[in-house]
Amino acid sequence: NAGVTQTPKFQVLKTGQSMTLQCAQDMNHNSMYWYRQDPGMGLRLIYYSASEGTTDKGEVPNGYNVSRLNKREFSLRLESAAPSQTSVYFCASSEGLARAYRQETQYFGPGTRLLVL
Amino acid sequence: TQLLEQSPQFLSIQEGENLTVYCNSSSVFSSLQWYRQEPGEGPVLLVTVVTGGEVKKLKRLTFQFGDARKDSSLHITAAQPGDTGLYLCAGVVGTSGSRLTFGEGTQLTVNP
């Protein structure tokens, strides 16, 4: 099992350009998440999908859109990139079982490093 | 937003020393998790604590959840260079999904 995979691993964009970050998991998980990690700020939740067909905003959703394409795939789109979106982006997944939410493990991908000039 | 504050932010120690990392909040969490992250990789779960006052041990690592479920600590005994990494605490928020609020992280360096 590959776990959680992310593409691309690294990307440089110019201000105003758009791009989509791809994420896929092969663990048959219901829930998927997108985080960004900036120095000194830990990880902040951008959007999440509790189950296939649903998406919800997290802590910092402005400037992003998401698509839960199917149970395996969850993409993050930057429509008009800004320098403030320079960050490392992590996708994660978890089983998404309501009865076990307090003890669920989130499995993270290796991250996408994005630089917006 | 429920905030988690970690301290210290940076810690550099010699091999064999003991250390404690703290994770504090004014909010109550359903449970709290500790993750470890190595450079260029995503975080990996170390432990989940659920019950107030709970103590869990993982080899040389001891995790404690505060009685009021607002804070937690990670204690490492006889640190080794392999313990080097970014340690993140994360509180489980909400009542039906495993949404996490992360602390800022503690960057630990253990020198040989």
Nearest C-alpha in A relative to B29: A102
Is the distance from CB of A82 to CB of B21 less than 8 angstroms?
no
Nearest CB neighbour to A101, from listed B97, B101, B103 = B97
Percent of chain A at pLDDT above 90? Answer: 80
Rg (CA), chain B: 13
Nearest CB neighbour to B88, from listed A42, A96, A110 = A42
Whether the CB of B30 is below 8 Å from some CB of chain A: the reply is yes
pLDDT at B25: 93
The CA distance from B49 to B34, in Å, is 9
DSSP letter assigned to residue B16: T
Residue A34's H or E segment, with its range, is: strand A31-37
Average pLDDT over every residue of B11-40: 94
Q: Quickly state the pLDDT bin for A96 (edges 50, 70, 90).
A: confident
Nearest C-alpha in B relative to A91: B42
Average pLDDT over every residue of B71-75: 96
**Half-sphere CA count of B75, side-chain side, radius 13 A:** 9
Nearest CB neighbour to B31, from listed A40, A43, A103 = A103
| CA dihedral of residues A22, A24, A30, A32 (deg, nearest 10) | -40
Nearest in space to A106 (alpha carbons), one of B69, B31, B39, B9: B31
Nearest C-alpha in A relative to B8: A40
The CA distance from A108 to B107, in Å, is 19
Q: Is A101–B103 a contact, with Cβ atoms under 8 angstroms apart?
A: no
Q: Look at residue B42 and tell me whether its pLDDT is greater than 90.
A: yes
Q: A16 — alpha (psi -120 to 50), left (phi > 0) or beta?
A: left
Nearest CB neighbour to B100, from listed A96, A98, A106 = A106
Interface of A with B (CB under 8 A): 4, 31, 33, 35, 40-45, 48, 50, 58-59, 90, 92, 94, 96, 98, 101-106, 108-111
Q: Look at residue B7 and tell me whether its pLDDT is greater than 80.
A: yes
Q: Report pLDDT digits (tens) over A11-57.
A: 999 999 999 999 999 999 999 999 999 987 789 999 999 889 899 99
The two three-digit tokens of residue A88, written as one number: 């490392």
Q: Is A102–B103 a contact, with Cβ atoms under 8 angstroms apart?
A: no
